Amino acid sequence: MPLRFGCIADDFTGGTDVAAAFRRAGLRTALVFGTPDATTVPPTDCDAVVVALKSRSTPADEAVADSLAAQRWLRDRGAAQLYFKYCSTFDSTPRGNIGPVTDALMDATTAPITLHCPASPANGRTVYQGHLFVHDQLLSDSPLRHHPLNPMTDASLVRLLSAQTRHPVALLDRSTTDQGVEAVRDAVEAHRRAGVRHVIADALTDDDLAVLGAAALELPVVGGAAGLAEGLGRAHPATGPATAGPPPPQGRAAVLAGSCSARTLEQIARFHAAGLPCFRLDVLGAAAGHDVIGSTLHWYRDQSPDLPVLIHASVSVEELAAVQNQLGVDEAAAQVEGMLGTLASRLVEGGVRRLIVAGGETSGAVTTALGIRAVLVGEEVDSGVPWTHTTTKAGDLALMLKSGNFGAPDLFTRTLTGASQETT
Ligand SMILES: Nc1ncnc2c1ncn2[C@@H]1O[C@H](COP(=O)(O)OP(=O)(O)O)[C@@H](O)[C@H]1O
Ligand SMILES: O=C(O)[C@@H](O)C(=O)COP(=O)(O)O
């Protein structure tokens, strides 16, 4: 059966988020991690295949090369349309990577024009007059202005994208979307005739995204977050039941967190407040050559196997800045990601069978360290946060890759102790 959607996600948690969106739209969806090659087993009988890369914060030429390799692999599997999934908060620097990757995918598919919309209303991301909001704040006023790798200090998507492409960028505002699918198609066509290559669309609701998705179904390349992917998916008739996940495997449970996002810090605080065992990694100590892995594993062995544990590098904005000032951003990230990757391997070898990873870059590091290449996308626990299922050398593993800002504050405690959902 031909593949309807080939999707390239620029980080691993973005991959799980968009895979959950396609699944919600009723599409059978598989998720592959890392640049696929001839040895990557092509999933069969899927409507959508998501290739999750670690290309959000890499140099633009690397991001382009990896994305083109994924595009060729998806094309060879018959993908009728490409979706480039980037962050709902448009995480990128002026030097990269959303513009260059989209341009390269458009060149490769000879697409004359594309539509972008990073809105994800389920997670409070909306676009109005081309400005990105995070709940009730402009992106540039939100906690994303302190992001450790991609601090977002401008909310104008036209301005942000124009800095990343030499091609014209234009806005399709909500008054057009309000007029329906035909009006959006006509507006995109008018922009194409005027020489525009990138159209940024407003969207406040899932209904707006359904209109945009239906209007964009014939464009070779479309870009945005999980919301527009769901809109596209809903515009395409499903061919079979969405994949159900197997029951969770028995074994210990752990959370590994490298995200310093506000929501992850809240989730960690809830876990701690519930009296569950938490261990904070000493990043400066590790950089100074101390055996932080050894002391963490020593602590872990003293914990009750019946309780989930949480190990985190995550720190407040102020502490993060202090570590980054001392080590540099890249060295600090390398220390954190190296430690969490090694710990993931040791924990899974030691019997952990349910593992939550918090943070996009962190998820990339952990998944790579565990040698996981593909997963089945299962039940969605909170919006954009599904369980995925895979098998490692050590046995079956239920893996949840959580974007830094996703999930309810009680996600870790509720998911791993079976506590009922809090009403907020
Ligand atoms: N204590 C720390 N000191 C320095 N850098 C850190 C620390 N904790 C986490 N980081 C880095 O912050 C970044 C968080 O990014 P990521 O995992 O993508 O989270 P998010 O999904 O919240 O953006 C990672 O590169 C991680 O290595
Ligand atoms: O679109 C989104 O917001 C997420 O899918 C995502 O990509 C978030 O990135 P991280 O917070 O770095 O995980």
Q: What is the pTM of this model?
A: 0.87
**Among the atoms of ligand 2, which is closest to the Cα of residue 402?**
13
Relative to the CA of 89, which ligand 2 atom is closest?
A: 3
Task: Kindly state the greatest CA–CA separation across the chain.
Answer: 67
Q: If you search the block for the tokens 């962050």, which residue do you land on?
A: 87
Residue 308 Cβ contacting ligand 1 at under 6 Å: no
CA of 274 to the centre of ligand 1 (A): 24
Which ligand is closest to the CA of 386, given by its number? 2
Set out the domains of the chain in order of their start, with CATH numbers: 5-234 (3.40.50.10840), 252-417 (3.40.980.20)
404 CB near ligand 1 (under 6 Å) = yes
Residue 402 parent element (H or E): strand 395-402
Give the per-residue pLDDT at 244. Answer: 60
Query: Collapsing DSSP states into helix, strand and coil, what is residue 315?
Result: coil
DSSP 73-125: HHHHTT-SEEEEE--TT----TTSSHHHHHHHHHHHHT-S-EEEE--BGGGTE
Q: For residue 11, which atom of ligand 2 is closest to its CA?
A: 7
Of the candidates 10, 89, 66, 78, which has an alpha carbon nearest to the alpha carbon of residue 42?
78
From the number of C-beta atoms within 10 Å of its C-beta (0-12, 13-18, 19+), residue 407 rates as buried
User: Do 127 and 133 touch, CB atoms closer than 8 A?
Assistant: yes
ipTM at complex level: 0.95
Atom of ligand 2 nearest to the CA of 403: 13
259 lines ligand 1 (CB under 6 A): yes
Residue type, 285: G
Q: Which ligand is nearest to the CA of 20?
A: 2
Between the CA of 403 and the centroid of ligand 1 the distance, in Å, is 11
Residue 225: CB within 6 Å of ligand 1? Answer: no
Determine contact, residues 36/70, Cβ cutoff 8 Å. Answer: yes
Separation of 256 CA from ligand 1 center, angstroms? Answer: 12
174: left (phi over 0), alpha (psi -120 to 50) or beta: alpha
Ligand sitting nearest the alpha carbon of 147: 1
332 CB near ligand 1 (under 6 Å): yes
Q: Is 260 in the pocket of ligand 1 (CB under 6 A)?
A: yes
Question: For every one of its 424 residues, what pLDDT tens digit does the chain have, with 9 covering 90 and above?
Answer: 678 899 999 999 999 999 999 989 988 888 999 998 888 876 667 889 999 999 998 999 999 999 999 999 999 989 989 999 999 999 887 788 999 999 999 999 999 999 999 999 999 999 999 999 999 999 999 988 888 778 888 999 999 999 999 999 999 999 999 999 999 999 999 999 999 999 999 999 999 999 999 999 999 999 999 999 999 999 986 655 555 666 777 789 999 999 999 999 999 999 999 999 999 999 999 999 999 999 999 999 999 999 999 999 999 999 999 999 999 999 999 999 999 999 999 999 999 999 999 999 899 999 999 999 988 888 899 999 999 888 898 999 999 999 998 999 999 999 999 766 664 4
